Amino acid sequence: MIPITPAFPVTRLRRMRRTPALRALSRQNTLSVDDLIWPVFVMDGHDNETPVASMPGVMRRTVDRIASAAVEAQNLGIPAICIFPYTGMEARTTDCAMAWDPNNLTNQAIRAIKDAAPDIAVMTDIALDPYNINGHDGFVENGEIVNDRTVEALVKMALAQADAGADILGPSDMMDGRIGAIRMALEGAGHHNVTILSYAAKYASAFYGPFRDAVGASAALTGDKKTYQMDPGNTDEALRLVARDLAEGADMVMVKPGMPYLDICRQVKDTFGVPTYAYQVSGEYAMMQAAIQNGWLDGEKVMMESLLGFKRAGCDGILTYFAIEAAKFLQR
């Protein structure tokens, strides 16, 4: 409800915009380093990193370099780092068995980060696409991405990550029933305190392209993901999915992508009042970086304005590739 405002000149709304101090005093939403989760890409090898061509400024790092990056993030006050593995076609299989191998890249990185930066929370990704020869988040049988067999594999993947020391599990696969299955498995294995940040409303978006380059999935993917990721035209379904995942044991929920779906973020927060996150995905990041590098936009200003938009939409935090730069800006 908008309150009745006395007429001009009794009310001059510009009074509160006149100085930086007055603007700060009246600012409704603020961004802090506590709102940031930094997604990083881990690759095989030692003491090496390679740039992701479609994501300027983003690197794939070996496990030792990931640990060093986590120390930098921790020193900047960033509360969480999220790991995604880069897997070449030669390491992908139809059975995806590497997904729950205790010594896969993700699990190595979890342990390395916990040793090097024990105060930062480690988040992981749970989906089969980095390990699947087909590039899909689930098993493919006769051209169909099958649900229940995939959930069984995701449970094994979750347990391996929890055993490695992950603090937050991020199921991003959009299979039905996976949150409940993972939660029960965690409880049964004694991982009572491992939290689940569910990709509850993940849309079948065209904004994921650069990410698929970063994890090596672009060449692998056959077909599309529209039978398990959400239709971009739907709103009510997102609320049903969030309600389901919360009922099954999710501690936090995510909307993905971010900026094209800020209306969904607001509805989720207003409806459920739970910790709500958004992922400023690779395509959003790449678009801004392209304009920034061409001199069309002011980099720091659009970075901070875009992140503040998530807070205004009701998000409690943002997964963003800008996390390090934003944290440094906020320190200044």
Nearest alpha-carbon partner for 37 in 273, 215, 197: 197
Average pLDDT over residues 198-226: 87
Asked if residue 179 belongs to a domain, the reply is: yes
User: Is 269 considered catalytic here?
Assistant: no
Asked if residue 10 belongs to a domain, the reply is: no
Asked if residue 234 belongs to a domain, the reply is: yes
Asked if residue 169 belongs to a domain, the reply is: yes
pLDDT value of position 218: 67
Number of domains making up the chain = 1
* pLDDT confidence bin for 219, thresholds 50/70/90: low
Asked if residue 74 belongs to a domain, the reply is: yes
- The CATH number given to whatever domain includes residue 116 is 3.20.20.70
User: Is 225 considered catalytic here?
Assistant: no
Distances from the Cα of 326 to the Cα of 85, 179, 205, angstroms: 24, 32, 25
* pLDDT confidence bin for 3, thresholds 50/70/90: confident
pLDDT value of position 88: 83
* pLDDT confidence bin for 318, thresholds 50/70/90: very high
Average pLDDT over residues 211-220: 76
Asked if residue 20 belongs to a domain, the reply is: no
* pLDDT confidence bin for 90, thresholds 50/70/90: confident
Given a contact cutoff of 8 angstroms between Cβ atoms, the answer to whether 229 and 208 are in contact is: no
Average pLDDT over residues 218-243: 91
Asked if residue 175 belongs to a domain, the reply is: yes
pLDDT value of position 1: 67
Catalytic residue among 114, 225, 256, 269: 256
Question: Which residues contact residue 252 at a Cβ distance below 8 angstroms, ignoring those fewer than 6 apart?
Answer: 168, 195, 196, 197, 198, 274, 275, 276, 277, 316
pLDDT value of position 209: 86
The per-residue DSSP string of 232-250 comes to TT-SHHHHHHHHHHHHHT-
* pLDDT confidence bin for 22, thresholds 50/70/90: very high
Question: Which residues contact residue 311 at a Cβ distance below 8 angstroms, ignoring those fewer than 6 apart?
Answer: 29, 30, 31, 35, 318
Domain that holds residue 304: 31-331
Q: pLDDT tens, 105-164?
A: 999 999 999 999 999 999 999 999 999 998 899 999 999 999 999 999 999 999 999 999
Catalytic residue among 202, 225, 269, 311: 202
Residue scoring higher pLDDT (135 or 205) = 205
Asked if residue 11 belongs to a domain, the reply is: no
Average pLDDT over residues 167-193: 98
Q: What is the pTM of this model?
A: 0.95
- The pLDDT of residue 216 is above 80: no
pLDDT value of position 257: 97
